[in-house]
Amino acid sequence: MDLIKLSNTFPTELSCIEYAEKIRFGKKVKCAYCNSENLGRRNADNRHKCLSCGKSTSVTINTNLHDTRISLKTWFYAVSVITDAKKGMSALQLQRNINVSYPTAFSMYHKLRELMMDNNKKEVKNLNGIIEMDETFIGGKPRKFGNPCFEPMRREELDKEIDRVEKKGFDFAPLGKNKGKCTENSKRGRGTQNIPVVGMVERNGNVVAEVMKTLTYENLKKMVMKYVKEEKSVLITDNYKGYNSMKKIIDHIKIDHKQMYSYRGVNSNSIESFWAIIERGIMGQYHSVSPEKLPNYIAEFVYRYNNRKDTAIMFDELLKKLLEVRKIK
């Protein structure tokens, strides 16, 4: 939501509270403690006294915002600014946008990332069809080739593999001439030294990405089994050795990126473009991301990518998450 629309829709704290109440309770406001609809009038502090249990109730009680001292309006603006920032933003930029202290902006952003991470769980067993899988290394220098972990592959082998899978009805290059053209590799590479992140994207669909301690077949296999819904799917990867036994669990085609990026529609362009967003975002915006926090940053980009077609959904979805009821005592 742009800022003008946002300030028209939510001009006051009360307008935000009423919207939040609709999200949490539906048409009629209820007591957060006993669920009674028998409430007194709204007090000057915007809370209600419950006429059934006698407690003072508000929409944030027992939610993720239970302990917040920040106004709902500030939360609404933070959610809007963050979901609109296509390349991500730093806590410093958020601080400037919503006029809070740096530590407050930092912890708000952190909370929202956790909620995005939680939301990403719906991608489990959700990918199917043609799935590109690839690994990247956050913070690394390009050095992928000459690495003994990658086995060179001949084009004839790849032709045989593509023919075999296409016979099953998969079409790697459905949109004609350019999609199926062969793009040879002139130079390509990616880091090997830093934190490995593995991603899988369904063609024209959603992405998942996880930090992986070591890129072993066992770990890669676990990830495929976690996220792929249909047995009748096909995986495209590069020729990294860890993928060698993938055929045991899923149909699989490898492309040797040392020779070409794309061949008859077999490529990992979708996951590569996701890596490009991650690299620009994480390396550019967040100058120092600790390894412990890296999964949260990755989750933010996954979340944004999977909602790229409709950012309005993100706004409502994150508000809903913020107002999810938790057992807080």
List of residues contacting Zn ion (CB under 5 A): 31, 33-34, 36, 50, 52-53
Residue with Cβ nearer Zn ion (34 or 328) = 34
Phi-psi region of 106 (alpha: psi -120 to 50; beta: other; left: phi over 0): alpha
Residue carrying structure tokens 């609109």 = 84
Tell the smallest beta-carbon distance from residue 34 to Zn ion (Å): 3
CB 171 within 8 A of CB 257: no
The beta strands (E) that lie in the chain are given as: 39-42, 48-50, 56-57, 130-138, 183-184, 195-202, 207-211, 234-238, 251-255, 260-263, 266-267
Length of the chain: 329
Strand partners, 108: none
Distance CA 218, CA 182 (A): 32
Tell the smallest beta-carbon distance from residue 75 to Zn ion (Å): 24
Residue with Cβ nearer Zn ion (36 or 194) = 36
Tell the smallest beta-carbon distance from residue 56 to Zn ion (Å): 9
Tell the smallest beta-carbon distance from residue 66 to Zn ion (Å): 16
Residue with Cβ nearer Zn ion (66 or 141) = 66
Residue with Cβ nearer Zn ion (53 or 283) = 53
Residue with Cβ nearer Zn ion (50 or 318) = 50
Tell the smallest beta-carbon distance from residue 37 to Zn ion (Å): 10
